[in-house]
Amino acid sequence: MKIKPILLMLWISVAALSVYAQSEKFSALGYLPSGAGMRMVGAGSTMNLDLYIDRYSTNQEANLLAGALIEGGNDALLKSLEKVKRIGKIQLTGRVGFYDLKLIRSRPISGGGRQIIAVTDRPISGFEMYAGSRSQDYNFGVIQIVLKPNSKGKERGTGTMIYASKIKLIKGKTIQIENYGVSPLQLRNVRKW
């Protein structure tokens, strides 16, 4: 997946000042398309997910992370992100365990509604480390959600979650998110509580 310039849209985007400063909670149905190739969860599987946002990243926080990516690439971004405190989390509904979200941005989209992008430094399992798997190089998780108000004014939407990815800057102006050979988890029926 490539994200075109717009001044490093994932992070900087000053016009994307988060007007949603208060905490929010969303739920979604995660769906793994057939042919996705995940071993632990079969293709066609579904799961309920909860996304908790304590607050959104400030422009200053986003600019620091964008600067790390520009100056030192994927590795520098990872080191910077590891130092950031959790500002949200995603977990399977009703299950113990979750993934910390370290960068969360919300920006308006044309036609009404908004887009939420969240990034985390994904934990590498002991098995991955032991096996020396190539997946260790894909150390980011990325969530993207598009929400629009329905006829009753409630936000509903869809999105994707990439569990293991690399984040690269191509020619200094395009962010490329490289997925680790697995189709992104499709997020359906995303709704705000």
Q: Which residue carries 């798997």 as its tokens?
A: 133
Q: How many structural domains does the chain have?
A: 1
pLDDT confidence of residue 7: 35
Q: What is the pLDDT of residues 22-81, one digit of tens each?
A: 799 999 999 987 654 444 455 568 899 999 999 999 999 999 998 999 899 889 999 999
Q: What is the mean pLDDT of the chain?
A: 81
The pTM of this model reads 0.81
**CB of 36 within 8 A of CB of 181?**
no
Q: At which residue do the structure tokens 């098995």 appear?
A: 127
- The amino acid occupying position 84 is V
The residue range of the domain holding 133 is 2-192
CB 99 within 8 A of CB 125: no
Long-range pairs, 1-9, Cβ under 8 A, ≥24: 1/162, 1/176, 1/177, 1/179, 2/170, 2/174, 2/175, 2/176, 2/177, 3/174, 3/175, 3/176, 3/177, 4/174, 5/173, 5/174, 8/66, 8/69, 8/70, 8/169, 8/175, 9/175
Structure confidence at residue 178 as a pLDDT band (50, 70, 90): confident
Q: How far apart are the first and last CA of the chain?
A: 29
Confidence category of residue 99, pLDDT binned at 50, 70, 90: confident
